[in-house]
Structure 1
Amino acid sequence: MTDFQPRVFSGVQPSGNLHLGNYLGAIVNFVALQESHDCIYCVVDMHAITVWQDPRELSRQIREVTAAFVASGIDPVKHIVFNQSQVSVHAELAWVFNCVARIGWMNRMTQFKDKAGKDKENASLGLLAYPSLMAADILAYKATHVPVGEDQKQHLELTRDIAQKFNNDFSESIAAHGFGDAYFPITEPLITGPATRIMSLRDGTKKMSKSDPSDYSRINLTDDADAIAQKIRKAKTDADALPSEVDGLKGRPEADNLVGIYAALAGTTKQQVLDTFGGRQFSEFKPALGELAVSRLGPIGEEMRRLMQDPGHIDAILAAGAARAEAIARPVMDGVKDVVGFIRRN
Structure 2
Amino acid sequence: MLEIGYNKDMMEGKTILTGIRVNSEMTLGNFLGALLPMTRLANKYSLNNKINIFIPDLHTIISEVDGELQKNLIQGIKYYLAAGLEVNKNVHIYRQSYVPAHSELCWMLNCVATMGEVSRMIQYKEKSKNGDAGTNVAIFDYPVLMAADILLYDANYVPVGEDQFQHIELTRDIGERVNRKFGEIFVLPEKTEKQVEFIETANSAGGIRIRDLQNPEKKMSKSALAENSKIMMNDDPLRVAKKIMSAQTDSLGKIAFDMFNQAGISNLLQIEALISDVPLQEVISTWAGETRYGDLKKKVAETVSTYLSEFQAKVAKISDEEVYQILAEGERYANEVAQAKLLAVQRAFKLR
TM over 0.5: yes
Give the distance between the partners of 1:284 and 1:131, measured in 2 at CA.
45
Pick the aligned partner of 2:297 from 267, 270, 286. 286
Is 1:332 aligned with 2:341? yes
| Kept in 2: contact 1:46–1:85 (CA 8 A) | yes
Q: Alignment partner of 2:316: what SS? A: helix
| Kept in 2: contact 1:223–1:301 (CA 8 A) | no
- Residue 262 of structure 1 aligns with an amino acid whose one-letter code is E
- Residue 264 of structure 1 aligns with an amino acid whose one-letter code is L
- Residue 266 of structure 1 aligns with an amino acid whose one-letter code is S
- Residue 330 of structure 1 aligns with an amino acid whose one-letter code is Q
| Other-structure match for 1:76 | 87
Q: Alignment partner of 1:40: what SS? A: strand
| Other-structure match for 1:186 | 188
Pick the aligned partner of 1:16 from 14, 24, 41. 24
Pick the aligned partner of 1:298 from 309, 327, 332. 309
Pick the aligned partner of 1:319 from 311, 328, 331. 328
Tell me the alpha carbon deviations over residues 81-130 of structure 1, each in whole angstroms, 9 at most, x when there is no partner. 11111111111111111111101111100001111125621111111000
Is 1:108 aligned with 2:108? no
Give the distance between the partners of 1:164 and 1:271, measured in 2 at CA.
40
Give the distance between the partners of 1:267 and 1:155, measured in 2 at CA.
29
| Other-structure match for 1:25 | 33
| Other-structure match for 1:174 | none
Tell me the alpha carbon deviations over residues 35-72 of structure 1, each in whole angstroms, 9 at most, x when there is no partner. 22310001101001112436x61111111211111111
The Cα shift of 1:300 comes to 2.0
| Kept in 2: contact 1:33–1:39 (CA 8 A) | no
Give the distance between the partners of 1:132 and 1:125, measured in 2 at CA.
12
| Kept in 2: contact 1:224–1:302 (CA 8 A) | no
Which stretch of structure 1 is more off in the superposition, 155-164 or 44-53? 44-53
Q: Detail structure 1 runs of 4+ shifted over 4 Å in the superposition.
A: none
Q: Alignment partner of 1:8: what SS? A: strand
Within a 5 Å distance, the mapping from 1:103-252 to structure 2 comes to 103-117=115-129, 120-171=132-183, 182-188=184-190, 189=192, 190-191=195-196, 192-193=199-200, 194-243=206-255, 245-246=256-257, 250-252=260-262
Unaligned stretches of 5+ residues in structure 2: 1-10, 201-205
| Kept in 2: contact 1:222–1:304 (CA 8 A) | no
Unaligned stretches of 5+ residues in structure 1: 172-181
- Residue 292 of structure 1 aligns with an amino acid whose one-letter code is T
TM-score, structure 1 normalization: 0.88
- Residue 22 of structure 2 aligns with an amino acid whose one-letter code is P
Give the distance between the partners of 1:201 and 1:305, measured in 2 at CA.
27
| Other-structure match for 2:264 | 254
| Other-structure match for 1:7 | 15
Give the distance between the partners of 1:72 and 1:59, measured in 2 at CA.
20
Q: Alignment partner of 1:231: what SS? A: helix
TM-score, structure 2 normalization: 0.86
Tell me the alpha carbon deviations over residues 207-264 of structure 1, each in whole angstroms, 9 at most, x when there is no partner. 1111112332222222242132122112222244333x545x6412212211222222
Tell me the alpha carbon deviations over residues 251-300 of structure 1, each in whole angstroms, 9 at most, x when there is no partner. 12212211222222233444433433332312111111111113333322
Give the distance between the partners of 2:114 and 2:223, measured in 1 at CA.
32
- Residue 224 of structure 2 aligns with an amino acid whose one-letter code is D
Give the distance between the partners of 2:310 and 2:345, measured in 1 at CA.
44
Aligned-residue identity in percent? 31
Q: Alignment partner of 2:52: what SS? A: strand
- Residue 187 of structure 2 aligns with an amino acid whose one-letter code is P
The Cα shift of 1:32 comes to 2.5
Aligned length: 326
